[in-house]
Amino acid sequence: MKKRNLLFALPLVATIQANALANPSIYLWDNQEGFVPAANCKISPSENTPFRVSSFTGWKSSETENLRNYNGIRQSHLINGSIVKTIDGKKKNNYEKIEVVGVNKNTDARVNRWFSQRLDQGYLYSKSVLPIEDYVIEVENTNFPQEQKNILSNHNSTYWLAEASGSYYKLNCPGKNEGRDYTLFRVYNTLNENEAPSSFVGVYFDESKIFKDIRTTPISKIGVELVDTETTYDLEEILSNEENQFIENDNLLTSTEEFKIEVAKNEEIERRNTITNKDSSIISKGTPEGDIQGTFEDVVCVPSNTLNVRDESLEKVIFKSQTGEKVKRFQSFEPEEKEITLDGVVYNFIKVQFSSREEKDQTIGWVASKYIKKKSQCKYLRSEEDINVIRDVEISGLDDPKCCEFPTVKAPTHSYTSGMRMFKARRGGGSRSHAACDLYRYKDEPILSVAPGVVVRDLYYFYQGTYALEVRHSGGFIVRYGELTGKKESGVSSGKKVKMGQRVGYMGKVNSNCCRPMLHFELFDGSGRGSLSQKGNKFQRRSDLMDPTHYLQKWESGKF
């Protein structure tokens, strides 16, 4: 049995016998669709891959390396072990131009606003850009939809290893992914001895959100034994397995027949939803145009959640879009509308651009025009008016099925489960711990009451030019809404009742300019006595302080 640091001595040759105990599937990663079966793909060796891992080079030790601009000026601190990709740019001696793919969370570094984030670009010292095969990548999947999570594993994480033995390996898949080279990774459910990979996944360098939440560890620092280094897999044979064959027929008749079926299916769902909407008092009628920022935007609006995007000929599906995805109608000197007549019915297609996508080769295509609507007119999207609505309900506590409303009007712009925003994050050099989750949004946005309750402490000065409000909610739990502006909301004062979803204040920003505007959200079970801020523990809070993370995640998923 070999040690783990010899793992990548595994040869990967198409003619070598496959492990009889394992028959893993091969997938492609798609930012919108998740894991997609590798249809009609070919595997081949490759001398290189754009994926790398960052490290520190210098006489001293450091948790980070400097990300610089072309002139050598430091832009930010990139945590060692982060996944990066090399990109084209102006050449600079002894430096590589890179883009950050995923920031390593396996670190003791005290993250602040000067640290690099995903999609940041800059120059790294060339000796600080290491081969990706020297690392085990732990990919978190707790935020995946359940059906996607189950494709690879029922564990909270999977372990990824770049296929490399003398060369890397890439997948090329004719059809909707034509022209892409996917770097191949083998994926394990655990790092137990003798475990075979559960699957293989190809990742395209320009579509890599799968690596957003990762922890990396150098193989040389892992002392446990992993898999038998003599185990090899015949990927050509795996690709030929029946479960990996999803043939796409490019014949126009088949494609148009599929399109007719797709249209008929969507129209039937739309008809049923229209009937349901007429009979239901709880379905939103939509927000009047102009009432909410963004309602004039064009979006994909389709009842079946995904819409096929086709090539110039309209014969081939090149990728899929999702309901609510923002589009721009393409403008040029060429005609940007086309018609197809099927059985006497005219279908109109328009050329659109998906400008918010990071994958540059999936930004332009043709879609059925009837499924592009103004955001305010798409009944398959919940409007902000429907989401942020005051509800006159009573609840028994935090675990009541009717509890609770997420306190911001839109989803936070940053994760509150990592970095300095998370509960228990280090403060004061480790002398104390963060007593809240910080929900980043934009200054002066409304803050909403998470549940019915009574204001127990009116707006008061809290921290660095911001204010706070305390509410005892039904069931007895208490929320401190911190870092608000000083603007009082009418009818919200000590002793007054508030309803779930009622506006109680406005998001503020500390005057030290250390961070973005936020809601500092503290949660207490209500069993304590006295001021919420008390000494005697690392949080410097009352003993009934709770970790609000689980509840906020539950409320956020139910709202957005």
pLDDT digits (tens, 9 = 90+) for 319-354: 888 888 899 987 665 667 888 876 677 889 999 998
Mean pLDDT throughout 8-18?
30
Using an 8 Å Cβ cutoff, are 486 and 462 in contact?
A: no
CB atoms under 10 Å from CB of 43, counted, come to 23
Under 8 Å CB-to-CB from 113, ≥6 apart: which residues? 514, 515, 516
User: CA neighbours within 13 Å on the CB side: how many for 228?
Assistant: 9
Average pLDDT, the chain: 80
Residues pairing with 372 in the sheet: 300
HSE value, Cβ hemisphere, 13 Å, CA-based, for 264: 8
pLDDT tens column, 292-312: 334 458 898 887 667 889 888
Q: What is the pLDDT of residues 425-457, one digit of tens each?
A: 888 777 889 999 999 988 888 999 999 999 999
pLDDT at residue 284 in the model = 33
CB 103 within 8 A of CB 79: yes
Q: Please state, in angstroms and rounded to a whole number, the distance separating the CA atoms of residues 479 and 535.
A: 19
Q: How far apart are CA 549 and CA 422, in angstroms?
A: 8
> Model pTM greater than 0.75?
no
Residue 15 CA from chain centroid, whole number: 38
Please say if the pLDDT value at position 223 is more than 60: no
Q: Go through the chain and tell me how many residues it has.
A: 560
Report the Cα 519 to chain-centroid distance in Å. 21
Q: Give the separation between CA 243 and CA 234, rounded to whole angstroms.
A: 16
- Provide the token pair at 495: 């002793």
Question: Does 179 score more than 90 pLDDT?
Answer: no
Q: pLDDT grade, residue 543 (50/70/90)?
A: very high
CA angle 24, 26, 28 (to 5 degrees): 150
Most confident of 6-15, 222-231, 485-494: 485-494
What is the pairing mode between strands 199-204 and 25-30?
parallel
Q: Who wins on pLDDT, 558 or 449?
A: 449
Please give the average per-residue pLDDT across 29-42, as a whole number: 83
Give the residue, 351 or 38, on which the prediction is more confident.
351
Residue 508 has pLDDT above 60, yes or no: yes
Higher pLDDT pick, 380 / 76:
76
Residue type for position 159: Y
**CA 172, 178, 179, 185 torsion-angle sign:** negative
Asked if 309 and 321 touch (Cβ cutoff 8 Å), the reply is: yes
Apex CA 425: angle with CA 423 and CA 430, to 5°?
A: 140
Q: Is 213 helix (H, G, I), strand (E, B) or coil?
A: coil
> Are 4 and 193 contacting, i.e. CB atoms less than 8 angstroms apart?
no
CB 510 within 8 A of CB 517: no
d(CA 527, CA 86): 54
Segment 187-210, tens digit of pLDDT: 888 877 667 788 889 999 999 999
pLDDT tens for 513-542 read: 778 899 999 999 999 999 999 999 999 999
Selection from 60-74, 235-249, 406-420 with the highest mean pLDDT: 60-74
Which H or E run includes 139?
strand 135-140
334-342 long-range contacts, CB within 8 A, separation 24+ = 337/369, 338/314, 338/366, 340/256, 340/259, 340/314, 342/256, 342/259, 342/260
Asked if the model's pLDDT at residue 256 lies above 60, the reply is: no
Tokens of 385: 């008016």
Domains annotated for the chain, with CATH where assigned, are 1-248 (no CATH), 252-377 (no CATH), 419-559 (2.70.70.10)
Contact assessment for residue 417 and residue 551, using Cβ atoms and an 8 Å cutoff: no
Give pLDDT tens digits for 81-118. 999 999 998 999 999 999 999 999 998 888 888 999 99
The answer to whether 500 touches 398, Cβ cutoff 8 Å, is: no
Is 90 exceeded by the pLDDT of residue 357? no
**What's the pLDDT at 151?**
75
Among 188, 219, 225, smallest CA distance to 53 is for: 219
Identify the pLDDT of residue 205. 92
Q: Determine if residue 34 is left, alpha or beta; phi over 0 gives left, psi from -120 to 50 gives alpha, anything else beta.
A: left
CB atoms within 10 A of CB 151: 18
Distances (CA, A) of 434 to 299, 420, 424, 537, 547: 39, 8, 5, 11, 10
